[in-house]
Amino acid sequence: MDETLILAEDRLLGPEPKQKDLALHLYRLIADLPLVCPHGHVDPRLFADPDYSFGSPVDLLLIPDHYIFRMLYSQGIALESLGIPRQDGGPVEQDHRKIWQLFAEHFYLFRGTPTGIWLNHAFYHVFGIRQKLNGGSAQAIYDQIAAKLASPEMTPRRLFEQFNIDVLCTTDPATDRLEHHQAIRQSGWKATIRPTFRPDTVVNLDTENWRDHIKQLSEVSGITVESYPTFIQALENRRAYFKTMGAAATDHAALIPCTERLSRAELEIIFDRALCCQATAHDAMRFTGHMLIEMARMSIEDGLVMQLHPGSFRNHNGLIFEGFGRDKGADMPISTEYTRNLKPLLDLYGSDPRLTLILFTLDETSYTRELAPLAGHYPALKLGPPWWFHDSFNGMQRYFDQVMETAGLYNTAGFNDDTRAFPSIPARHDVWRRASANWLAGLVLRGLIDLSDAEEMALDLANGLAKRAYKL
Amino acid sequence: MDETLILAEDRLLGPEPKQKDLALHLYRLIADLPLVCPHGHVDPRLFADPDYSFGSPVDLLLIPDHYIFRMLYSQGIALESLGIPRQDGGPVEQDHRKIWQLFAEHFYLFRGTPTGIWLNHAFYHVFGIRQKLNGGSAQAIYDQIAAKLASPEMTPRRLFEQFNIDVLCTTDPATDRLEHHQAIRQSGWKATIRPTFRPDTVVNLDTENWRDHIKQLSEVSGITVESYPTFIQALENRRAYFKTMGAAATDHAALIPCTERLSRAELEIIFDRALCCQATAHDAMRFTGHMLIEMARMSIEDGLVMQLHPGSFRNHNGLIFEGFGRDKGADMPISTEYTRNLKPLLDLYGSDPRLTLILFTLDETSYTRELAPLAGHYPALKLGPPWWFHDSFNGMQRYFDQVMETAGLYNTAGFNDDTRAFPSIPARHDVWRRASANWLAGLVLRGLIDLSDAEEMALDLANGLAKRAYKL
Amino acid sequence: MDETLILAEDRLLGPEPKQKDLALHLYRLIADLPLVCPHGHVDPRLFADPDYSFGSPVDLLLIPDHYIFRMLYSQGIALESLGIPRQDGGPVEQDHRKIWQLFAEHFYLFRGTPTGIWLNHAFYHVFGIRQKLNGGSAQAIYDQIAAKLASPEMTPRRLFEQFNIDVLCTTDPATDRLEHHQAIRQSGWKATIRPTFRPDTVVNLDTENWRDHIKQLSEVSGITVESYPTFIQALENRRAYFKTMGAAATDHAALIPCTERLSRAELEIIFDRALCCQATAHDAMRFTGHMLIEMARMSIEDGLVMQLHPGSFRNHNGLIFEGFGRDKGADMPISTEYTRNLKPLLDLYGSDPRLTLILFTLDETSYTRELAPLAGHYPALKLGPPWWFHDSFNGMQRYFDQVMETAGLYNTAGFNDDTRAFPSIPARHDVWRRASANWLAGLVLRGLIDLSDAEEMALDLANGLAKRAYKL
């Protein structure tokens, strides 16, 4: 029943021998370069306490990772039986060995998926596992991971160093006091961990309990938000604070990336309606569209790089949202338009060299049709790497094949792992570096670039583009 | 002029030698497994009469196959000259040798198309042809096929056995009495041929002559459909009858796959308007959307698997529709949205383990953006194979590359041939099995899965997934 | 710093040795066939004067080519510093050596882009350059190109002959008197250069200064356009004139390719409103939709092939449009629908064998979903080659893989270079011929077609399909 887990050195590379040799050459140049992580969702708390413990293998690997449990759920496995906490505090499985057994018996579901690749990479390289995970090997592997987790080198800080992370950016609400970031700084630990300013909960009027977030914003900024002008002041205050704490960037979600400049009068009316809980869905959409423009304006002033992640229909499954809350693997992409939606913002700031706006998409149809042409023209625009469902080997191949010819490599922003699963970070960068090497080897063999071009491009893809795009 | 028709054993497999060896190994494991055909449009009449004759080569291969004559039509060949019957009974070519000659002279149009592959496969394996079809070889090949068709092993039942078909599902209107299915059963022939419940003509209020279909529904069900409640009763009655006749599934078309729960009051008003021929297009769209939800509810109760085939703009060419009627190669895909459209249905039933809803698409942009994420989350959802225009070698490659990483193999439903061209069934499954082997070989060679995984996955792709998804 | 520029004979072909051998065999069959150029934007003035001089390397290669300067602009290089003339006549860089240096220092931006391939091809084959262009080699290469441009074989006419161009079609406004075409004819030079009738500025009511264009139309046609009927007469007059001047085709742009038959009364009202500068945006859209149908009607009567290039959002960057005008690399694609939009036109004329309507797209999602199914049915439809951003090696691979299975090769229109950059013409055709050979070699090796099929298809792809589709 138990089989060996093998990670071949040449994995993910195309099979044609000449191409593989060349790809391996390029991969080896970049395989061990420091990891630059400009966007992600690792909890800064992990690093605030030098002795932070990851808990059990299930605490570390399963419960925080919706990539994993969505797949198990899709095959009829209840989230309760995986130990995912219910909103109402109702009973969920507490026996982590039982949860691990269930997971192991269904690990075949991840065959050929990015999650399968990341997990096997972490098993192999982080925990020294050499068996394939299945029902038969489940408990032995649990033991091995649990033992490893008990060892002193298995704190987040030691792993951070072992992973060779150059810089890690977290994502933090605009209302966050960044206490964990402060604790990291004060501890004297020399790693570079930066916050990212994410104002969605105060900027999107249709956020649940929006007024509570505004209240928090008032508290943390010391500016009583009671009108549109004070709202703007409070946001500027928070951006300034995030900058002092090392922030390099902001991040923005929007269901639809529409942008629209509203008049001061309209803004005040809409904002007042929102304060009275009377804003309509249409108000909310327009206000978000205006605030994207306003955030671009602030970025020009304070130099923070702006990221836009649109097109995710959050909490699609009503049942799961009610039972378990947000970020439970039930966010679904929708078709997303950029050419018309971004025009108002781009007309104002798209040609301003002080702005860097990094665009992401869950709608790959926009790669050749909209995003690559836009990024291949506007000085302010760069394209982020394949996002979420598209952060996979095939997704990267499509990205390279569909984006690069028109946008040009140098209008892209390198890789970011965008993960809350800390132990998967090296695996994710490794897939990107292999995909990059493989793509470049193909260009060389087809005579599109020469080897010296490819070597430079490989270094840039590995971390140079990310460093420059995010000004790190 | 005549050249040899060669079907290489390794056809369709990628050319890199290591990959091809591996793909051949996997293909050979599954090449001869029984065919499971859970969805298609073969006429059950073929099997009701043990001595059913296919007629001439043109009767068998050309006249029923809109994949073929649409291509000839596109090059300016009138459907009349191909013997396609006119609605008005007007004159069409009767000389089948002349039609065959015309077809043969234009057979080069099918170079590199799936229709070309299927036809050459049937020529070679079903009829023993060893010459390429063209103007020069036309009559000799006609003779050869005609002679073969006259032989006793060339009845549909003998071919069904020769093709090694495990189970074949037909598609039948809700108003069908399933007399051919009854005849098959009563004849004592031991093949498994199952009907599929397709209620489009009664459920879509904008069907031409909808009231005639309702009248028929009343007649076959014995329930006078005079209101929404009696309509629902009649449908439940028919589903029960289809189940007793072996049905495993239902099938639904909708231009747009919107779903919406209507109130009882709205339903009664719309249904009454429809009975008075006063339903609007908007009524029809909402009613269809409601009925999809209602059909999911019935599936949960009676266990029939639900299939949804949306996004085909039927009878796009007004001239052809008037002259020749439906299914004449003039249905055209449109852009199709699933994430928002299916939410009402999924909120109600998407997490119910008793429902299996198999989704199809003619809009490949939904693979990575909507369908794979949805199927990778909702327990009730599975994805059907590449449909219609996408049932091709390239279409399958895109499907594997775009669906599997996110949905996972086990949220897909294997293959179905979806054909009315009975002799093309083995060819279609063969293309799928080759494409599957080729895809899996690529995964093994790139180190994503190992050989034992690949072998299991190959068996599932060949027929295991289809059997399980359709509960066959 | 200086490296050698190498153009391998097997460039762009897939690396698997058997496939490459076969692809090279096919490529060699077609590499030197005459170039057929049925659609493009080369200025006919180049050929009117036998001694026309291209000017400096910057005049020839940079200033007219928005493919190049959009990429430089995207990296923050001002158009002024590239010598692009301002609308207001304001100062721009005049030192062409300095511009060339700036370009050369940023030539790495074009790594892996089609523009990079075309430029290197022209450097190598037209100018005999053997060094890679960069900051170090910039001035030496400038010298070499300038010297070459000073030589007598470097007139447009000599290059036309050297490029082995069989026929070149230009694109000319409906109001053009075709004086340069007349001059070419009168000069006795034996090349075939044909105009193409492009009526956008008079047919699209929302054209800037539409009434001025109408005035010009009256002048050149001798028909006072003062109503819808006189407008139609004037257009028919111009089409007839273009035909006498050798035109084979018309060409039409539309943001959205909607078509709609308007009543005579509506047409007259809308046209009159337009004459009074009171037409609305909605009027303009409907009128364009009607005129597409009207143009199809005229094509049926006069035999001119009709081309439709929809989906380009022109002049997206307001700043650039104001400063530098049209065609400055700031046109952006939008999502484009064909199935529903073209139905009114196709119902009227789609089955008419006298019409050839060649469709283009900037929205590749329409390949498998709409364009291939439509072209695989309607006799009047053909699909043009990958357009603009998609005129690249990857774009061609996607086109072959996504269009051909459903449309069939013979419903496509071969290649057109669509360029205003005259020296890039051989490079563009060369990429297409290599991509064609590569695609066909793949089909042969996978057993989809045999070698004799592939050889015929290669010849057709190289120029046969274009000749036949455009009736050249």
Which CATH number does the domain housing residue A107 bear? 1.10.2020.10
- Chain A partners within 8 Å of C12 (Cβ): 446-448
Q: Indicate whether A355 and A327 sit together in one domain.
A: yes
Q: Which chain A residues have a beta carbon less than 8 Å from that of B402?
A: 394
A166 and A143 together in one domain: no
Mapping DSSP to helix (H, G, I), strand (E, B) and coil, where does residue A450 land?
A: coil
C1 pLDDT exceeds 60? no
- Is residue B103 domain-shared with residue B35, that is, in the same domain? no
- Exposure b/e, A53-89, CB count within 10 A at least 16 = b: ebebbbebbbbbbbbbbbbbbbeebebeebbbeeeee
* Identity of the residue in C3, C71, C76 whose CB atom sits nearest the CB atom of A376: C71
- Please tell me whether residues A282 and A272 are part of one structural domain: yes
Judge contact between C382 and C358, C-beta under 8 A. yes
Q: How far away is chain C from the Cα of A237, in angstroms, using its nearest Cα?
A: 30
CA C367 to chain centre: 19
What CATH number did the domain enclosing B196 receive? 3.20.20.140
**Between chains, do C337 and B333 touch, taking CB under 8 Å as contact?**
no
In 3-state terms, what secondary structure has residue C42?
A: coil
Chain B residues inside the 8 Å CB shell of C442? 15
Interface touch A313/B410, C-beta < 8 Å: no
Per-residue confidence band for C6, with pLDDT thresholds at 50, 70 and 90: confident
Query: Which chain A residue shows the shortest CA-CA distance from B446?
Result: A12
Closest Cβ opposite residue C317 in set A16, A350, A445: A350
List, as one string, the DSSP characters of B382-408.
Answer: EEPPP-GGG-SHHHHHHHHHHHHHHH-
Contacts of B76 in chain C (CB under 8 A): 353, 379
**Residues of chain A neighbouring C363 (CB-CB closer than 8 A):** 365, 369
Q: Which of C339, C405, C442 sits opposite B332 (nearest CB)?
A: C339
Q: Is B362 left (phi over 0), alpha (psi -120 to 50) or beta?
A: alpha
Residue C294 sits in the same domain as residue C170: yes
| Number of neighbouring beta carbons within 10 Å of residue B401 | 19
Residue C263 has pLDDT above 90, yes or no: yes
In angstroms, rounded to a whole number, what is the distance separating the alpha carbons of residues A315 and B179? Answer: 47
Q: Are residues C164 and C174 in the same domain?
A: yes
Extract the residue ranges of chain B whose pLDDT is less than 50.
none
Q: Rg of chain A's alpha carbons, rounded to an integer?
A: 23
Strand partners, C383: C359, C412
The encoded tokens of residue B3 equal 């050249």
According to the model, what pLDDT value does residue A351 have? 98
Within a domain: B303: yes
Q: How confident is the model at residue C375 (pLDDT cuts 50, 70, 90)?
A: very high
A295 and A173 assigned to the same domain: yes
Nearest chain B residue to C18 by CA: give it.
B15
Tell me the shortest Cα–Cα distance from C357 to chain A, in angstroms. 23
Query: C412 φ, ψ to 5°?
Result: -115, 165
Chain B contact set for C347 (CB, 8 A): 317-319
Chains linked to A by 3 or more Cβ pairs within 8 Å: B, C
Residue type, B468: R
CA angle C238, C239, C241 (to 5 degrees): 60
DSSP helix/strand/coil, B249? strand
From chain C, the residues in CB contact with A369 under 8 A are: 333-335, 362-365
In this structure, what DSSP letter does residue B262 have?
P
Beta carbons within 8 Å of A190's beta carbon, 6+ residues apart: none
| B contact chains, 3+ CB pairs < 8 A | A, C
Say yes or no for a CB contact (<8 Å) between A346 and C390.
Answer: no
Find residue A252's DSSP bridge partners: A308
- Distance, in Å, from the CA atom of C202 to the CA atom of C214, rounded to the nearest integer, reads 6
Which other chains touch chain C, taking contact as 3+ CB pairs less than 8 Å apart?
Answer: A, B
- Which residues does chain A have within 8 Å of residue C114's beta carbon, measured at their own beta carbons? 405
Q: Collapse the DSSP code of A15 into the 3-class scheme (helix H, G, I; strand E, B; otherwise coil) and give the result.
A: coil
**Domain-located, residue B8:** no
Tokens matching residue C293 = 């149908």
The domain total for chain A is 2
Chain A positions touching B372 (Cβ under 8 A) are 389
Residues B19 and C225: their CA atoms lie apart, in Å, by 67
A250 and A359, same domain (yes or no) = yes
Indicate yes or no: CB of A112 within 8 angstroms of CB of B409. Answer: yes
Nearest Cβ partner for C313 among A339, A404, A405 = A339
Mark which of B134, B152, B170 sits at the end of a domain: B152
- Asked whether residue B458 falls in the same domain as residue B415, the answer is yes
Cβ B381–A74 below 8 Å, yes or no? yes
User: Do A71 and B372 lie within an 8 Å CB cutoff?
Assistant: no
- Report the SS3 class of residue C169: strand
How far apart, in Å, are the Cα atoms of A164 and each of A32, A168, A186, A465? 8, 11, 22, 18
- What are the 10-residue block averages of pLDDT along chain A, 472 residues in total? 86 96 98 98 96 96 95 98 97 98 98 97 97 97 97 95 98 98 96 98 94 98 97 98 98 96 96 95 96 98 98 97 96 98 98 97 98 98 98 98 98 97 97 98 97 98 98 96
Single out the residue of B445, B425, B427, B446 nearest to residue B435, CA to CA: B427
Number of inter-chain CB pairs under 8 A, B vs C: 130
Q: What are phi and psi of B211, to 5 degrees?
A: -65, -30
Residue A448 to residue C318, Cβ atoms within 8 A: no
Kind of pairing, strands B197-198 and B172-173?
parallel
Place of tokens 């990341």: A118
* A287 alpha carbon, distance to own chain's centre: 25
Q: Do C335 and A369 touch (CB under 8 A)?
A: yes
Q: Which residues of B touch C18 (CB under 8 A)?
A: 15
8 Å CB contact of C16 and B16:
yes
User: Running DSSP on this structure, what letter comes out for residue C412?
Assistant: B
Q: Which residues of A touch C333 (CB under 8 A)?
A: 339, 369-370, 373
Task: Give the tens place of pLDDT for each residue, C426-444.
Answer: 999 999 999 999 999 999 9
Instruction: Give which of C356, C374, C349 is closest to C414, Cα–Cα.
Output: C356
Q: Which two tokens stand for residue A103?
A: 């997971």
Q: Is the domain of B329 the same as that of B264?
A: yes
B323 and B236 in one domain? yes
Task: Note the pLDDT tens digit of each residue in B435-458.
Answer: 999 999 999 999 999 999 999 999
Does A11 map to a domain?
A: no
Residue A185: inside a domain: yes
Q: Chain B residues with CB inside 8 Å of C402's CB? A: 394
Only one residue has tokens 């001239």, namely B319
The DSSP secondary structure of B35-53, one letter per residue, reads EEE-S----THHHHSTT--
pLDDT at B1: 54
**CB B46, CB B419: distance < 8 Å:** no
Whole-angstrom distance, CA of residue C258 vs CA of residue C255: 9
Please state whether beta strands A332-333 and A312-313 pair in parallel, antiparallel, or not at all (unpaired).
antiparallel
Q: Please judge whether A13 and B446 are an interchain contact, meaning their C-beta atoms are less than 8 angstroms apart.
A: yes
Can you give the residue range of the structural domain that contains A26? 17-53+154-469
Q: Please report residues of B whose CB lies closer than 8 A to that of A332.
A: 339, 370, 373-374, 377
CB contact under 8 A, C390 and A401: no
Residue B12 falls inside a structural domain: no
Which of residues 354 through 413 in chain C touch B, CB cutoff 8 A?
365, 368-370, 372-379, 381, 401-402, 404-406, 408-411
B240-269 residues touching A, CB cutoff 8 A? none
Angstroms from B458 CA to nearest CA on chain C: 20
Domain closes at, from A134, A153, A172 = A153
- Which of A22, A337, A369, A453 would you mutate first to test chain C, the one with the most C CBs within 10 A? A369
Within 10 A of C112 (CB to CB), how many other CB atoms are there? 24
What is the structure's pLDDT at A412? Answer: 98
pLDDT at A310: 98
Interface test mutation site (partner A, options B354, B398, B405, max chain A beta carbons within 10 A):
B405
Burial C70-101 (b: 16+ CB within 10 A, else e): bbbbbeebebeebbbeeeeeeebbeebeebbe
Quote the crossing angle between the two packed helices A425-445 and A17-30, to the nearest 10°: 130
* Residues C210-259 pLDDT 10s: 999 999 999 999 999 999 999 999 999 999 999 999 999 999 999 999 99
Position C2 in a domain: no
Which A residues 419-458 touch C at CB under 8 Å?
Answer: 442-443, 445-450, 452-453, 456-457
Query: Are C71 and A450 a contacting pair at CB < 8 A?
Result: no
**Residues in C 1-40 with any Cβ partner in B closer than 8 A:** 16, 18-19
pLDDT at C112: 97
Taking only residues 306 to 365 of chain B, the set having a beta carbon closer than 8 angstroms to any beta carbon of chain A reads: 337, 339-340, 343, 346-347, 350-351, 353, 365
Name the minimum distance, in Å, from the CA of B445 to any CA of chain A. 7
CA distance A195 to A159: 19
Mark which of C131, C152, C173 sits at the end of a domain. Answer: C152
**C303-323: pLDDT as tens digits:** 999 999 999 999 999 999 999
Distance between CA atoms of residues B173 and A345, nearest Å: 53
**Assigned domain for A4 exists:** no
**Tokens (6 digits) for A281:** 């869905």
Q: Which of C203, C185, C186 is nearest to C195 (CA)?
A: C185
Question: How many Cβ atoms are within 10 Å of A183's Cβ, its own excluded?
Answer: 16
CA dist., res. C26 & res. C23, Å (int): 5
Residues A348 and A440 in one domain: yes
Instruction: Classify strands A172-173 and A197-198 as parallel, antiparallel or unpaired.
Output: parallel
User: Are the C-beta atoms of residues C1 and C136 closer than 8 Å to each other?
Assistant: yes
CB nearest to B339's CB, from A8, A112, A334:
A334
Answer yes or no: pTM beyond 0.95: yes
Chains A, B: CB contacts within 8 A come to 129
CB atoms within 10 A of CB A303: 13
Q: Which of B94, B96, B100 is nearest to B119 (CA)?
A: B100
Residue C303, in any domain of the structure: yes
Across-strand partners of A357? A306, A381
